[in-house]
Structures are given as structure tokens and as C-alpha cells.
Homo-oligomer: A and B are copies of this chain.
Amino acid sequence: MGKNKGKQVEAITPRDVDFARWYTDVISKTEMVDYAPVKGFMVIRPYGYAIWENIKEAFDRRFKETGHKNMYFPLLIPESMLQTEAEHVEGFAPEVAWVTRGGGKELGERLAIRPTSETIICSMYSKWLNSYRQLPFKYNQWCNVVRWEKTTRPFLRTSEFLWQEGHTLHETEEEARAETMQMLNIYREVTEDFMAIPMVVGQKSEKEKFAGAEATYTIEALMHDGQALQSGTSHYLGQHFTKAFDISYLSRENKQENPYHTSWGVSTRLIGGLIMVHGDDNGLVLPPKIAPIQVVIIPVAAHKPRVAEAAGKLTDQLGKVFRAELDDSDNSPGWKFNQWEMKGVPIRLEIGPRDLERGECVLARRDTGEKTAVSLDDIEAHVADLLVAIQKNLYDKALKAREAKTSTAKDMQEFAERLKENPGFIKANWCGDPACEDKIHDETGATLRCIPFDGEQEVIGDGTCVCCGKHADKMAYFARAY
């Protein structure tokens, strides 16, 4: 891509020099996010929040299409309620923020700010459910949650984040398991189709599963630096919570039964993944389906006759079909090019006096840097086609990058070497023993990300555990992770 002249935007640290600093530079220079006064909390600025709105809308549409309805549960959960399911409280208690005073008084019982809402939702479901005729319950909420974290990074791990949590009840185990899988598939579809992030999908180990779940399923993405990012989880909760909270109903057979239960969530963490998968040394690169601005229109030599007017008209025309924005500020075109490139806008449309003479404009792709002159007569079709091409290219590129960073290992020496040479996913057989999982983590820093489903299983070599050498009929993905 021909480098633009003009005032330089303050430089972003190159990815391969210091990935953590690159990330920090990108999120702050693009004004996506800022650090809040309370350590570990973040302010999501308009450009970051617009991305979240688009992500949210894509998920919400799919949830509603599959028969889910939204609702809203209270922020505060009494301590006694949080303690109702033993595993659950043990998992979350260390991260809880406690409200101890309200309305000028010490409270009789302290209240947890929800770290997740299984307990309070179950307490209400218990009240609402009477008959099998009411089932399934398929509800979701979009809200904020608080988990007190020691080490935080905006979007990736913050003491408060925004998310959705679906909570469903079903008559049978089969139905609940099918729901768990359906939501996992929706997570995969939306992250892959809208966010252009290829996912590795599978089950979490006992050690990594949700506190109180029978089984946790996950979508895992690989970042540019070779670290994995858990991007969404769907839990089959069996009857743990429904028994603990005494949720029961009169069944078709006229008996009191406890329903089967699922929960599933994705969060603002996904924005971190989006940045770290697609971004480059010039800043953000946003997939068209999620980008707050899909095409930015920049007049060149705007003082020349007809240019400003033509740019305005084009913006109006394109704005009817795409998320289009005109930059008619008095910055130089070169400065604008850099600025919008950094902000990851998929297409930059340049229009100047010479373009106008020819009845053309120039479309510049953010993902490849390619510039093409196209006729103004069919500009909408050109932009539409290019957006589709960019969306596809970003996914393909990310998949290729992930594949290049995925190795296999037969034993611990190979595991350590591969991970060092080429940080990323390590596919290795695992016998299922938590001791092996712990040893792998202790020796390499890698955690078990997921065990792929049967259709995507590929046992390595002779089918022995990468750690203990015993028989292992499952391959798992390991990686260092955010």
C-alpha cells in the first residue's frame, strides 16, 4: 500500500516488538476504552461500545430466533443465596465484591454484586415453575457483572464486564444437552461469521469447567501472539442447581421432578479477541459486519470545485445502505488516512477533482491495502462486494494464522519445544488424569483449552498420553491463555 503523506498519527508499538504494549496502544489510541478510577475497571468509550452494540445485536438476533426471551435480574445477591450450591460458592466467593451498607445503615446480611446469576435466577425459577406445560424456560439477560480480579487488562480481564447470560430449564437431560450444544453452535456461528474469528470448539476438563456444572463447552480463539482466548462457554448444569434451589414441577406423569438446566455466556472479552486476532502494526482491522463505520469517505483537495459536494452526496447515498461516515474535518488527507486506518475502518473511499472528472472514486481496503478506482455509477455494488471480500479474507487469514501456530506433540519434550519455537495451540493426547493436566501446566504454562468433539477428534500418533505415556484415546488442545 502506498504510504500516505501528511501529519503522522503517533506510532503504535509493533506487534512483534511488544504485543502487550501494541494492544494497549491500539485500544487507547483508537479511543475504544480507558482506565477507570477504580483499579481493574474500564470505561468503554463510544468507538468500543459501538462495536459491542453490533456484537450484541448479532447474538441477540440469534437468541430470539431460537426462541429465547430477555429479562433482567437484580444486581445484588444475598450471601446466603450465593452459598446454596456448594461448588458454585467455592468457585466464586474469592472474587466477590460485597455491599455492606445501604441507605445510611449497616446491612443485616451482606450482598454480593452478581459475579454470575445462577443462584438468584434459580431462586426465582423455583417460584415460577409449577407444571411441565411451562417448560422449557428459555431466558437470557444482558447485564454487567463484577469479579474482583488481581491482574486486569481492558476487555480481556476486568473486574466489571458486560455480558449476556442465558439460563434455561428443560424436562429432559437430552433436551438440556441439546440446548447446551445449540447455544455453543450459535456462539461459534456468530464469532466466526460476524467477527471473522475461527474457533476451536470442545469440552473443558473437570479442572477448567464452570463451578457447579456437569460439563462446560467452550469456543477458543488463538491470538496473534499465540495465546488462546476462551471466547464463550455453554454449560450443562444437570440438576445441581435445580435440586439445591428446590425447582420442581408436576411432570406429564404427574410426579414432582427437578428440571435440567443450562447456562451460557459471552462477554465484552470478545472485543479483546477481535483486536488481537485481526489487528496489525497500523492498528485495528475490523470485520465489516461488526465495524461501527464500514466505509469512510475522504474528500481530497476538498477546496476544489464540486469535491466537497460530491463527497457529501456519496456519503448520503452510501449511508442508506452501509454504515458510512464523511470525514470533512480540516485535517490533511494523509492524516485522515492514517487515522481511519488505525481505527480499522474496512474501506476508505477517496474522492478528488481528478476522480470526479473521470466519474470515479478510489476504494482502499484496510485488510490488504489494495486501492482500486471504481465507477461512481455502480458504487454501491462495488462497496457491497468489497465488504464481502474483506469479511471473507479476514476469516481466511485468521484461520491460516491459527493453523500456522498449531503444532502437535507426542511427549513432554516435544510439547515444550513446539510451544517455545511456535507459540500457539499444541494438539496432544491426554489420558484424562488431572495430574497430567497439572504437570503440563506446571512445566509449560499451557492449560488444557478443550477436548474436541468426536467429529473433530484426531488422536496423535500411537494414542498415548503426552504426559504419562499411558493409553489416551482423546486429543486435546493446549495453549497458554489470557
Taking Cβ atoms with an 8 Å cutoff, the residues of A that contact B are: 34, 36-38, 41-46, 48-50, 52-53, 69-78, 81, 94-104, 110-111, 113, 120, 123-124, 127-128, 133, 139, 143-144, 146, 148-150, 159-160, 162, 329
Contacts and interface: CB of A to CB of B under 8 A. Distances in A.
Contacts of A143: 144
A383 to B, nearest CB: 22
Given A74-B160, A98-B99, A101-B97, A81 B37 contact: yes
Contact of A100 (B69, B100, B128, B144): B100
Given A34-B127, A127-B34, A41 B74 contact: yes
Given A99-B99, A104-B94, A127-B34, A69 B49 contact: yes
A69 B95 contact: no
10 contacts: A34-B124, A38-B78, A43-B124, A45-B71, A72-B162, A94-B104, A97-B101, A98-B102, A102-B159, A103-B150
Contacts of A36: 73-74, 120, 124
Contacts of A101: 97-98, 100, 110
A146 B75 CA distance: 9
Given A98-B99, A99-B97, A46 B69 contact: yes
A31 to B, nearest CB: 8
Most buried by B among A103, A150, A329: A103
A71 B99 contact: no
Contacts of A123: 37
Nearest to A133: B329
Contact of A144 (B70, B75, B78): B75
A69 B101 CA distance: 34
Contact of A74 (B38, B96, B128): B38
Nearest to A141: B49
Contacts of A139: 46
B124 A73 contact: no
B69 A44 contact: no
Contact of A97 (B34, B42, B50, B102): B102
Contacts of A94: 103-104
By secondary structure, the A interface counts as mixed
A103 B95 contact: yes
Nearest to A107: B97
Contacts of A110: 101
A72 B49 contact: yes
A309 B447 CA distance: 54
A192 B168 CA distance: 37
Contacts of A124: 34, 36, 43
B74 A148 contact: no
Given A34-B127, A36-B120, A103-B150, A72 B44 contact: yes
Interface centre among A50, A99, A144, A160 (most CB of B within 10 A): A99
B43 A74 contact: yes
A474 B37 CA distance: 45
A131 to B, nearest CB: 12
A265 to B, nearest CB: 17
A106 to B, nearest CB: 10
Interface-central residue, A71, A73, A104, A110, by most chain B CB under 10 Å: A71
Given A124-B34, A143-B144, A43 B100 contact: no
A150 B43 CA distance: 31
A62 to B, nearest CB: 16
Contacts of A37: 74, 77-78, 81, 120, 123
Contacts of A74: 36-38, 41-43, 160
A72 B44 CA distance: 5
Contact of A70 (B49, B111, B127): B49
A75 B76 CA distance: 12
Contacts of A50: 69-70
Given A53-B70, A94-B104, 11 more contacts: A34-B127, A36-B73, A37-B81, A38-B77, A43-B72, A43-B74, A44-B71, A44-B72, A52-B72, A75-B113, A75-B160
Contacts of A133: 329
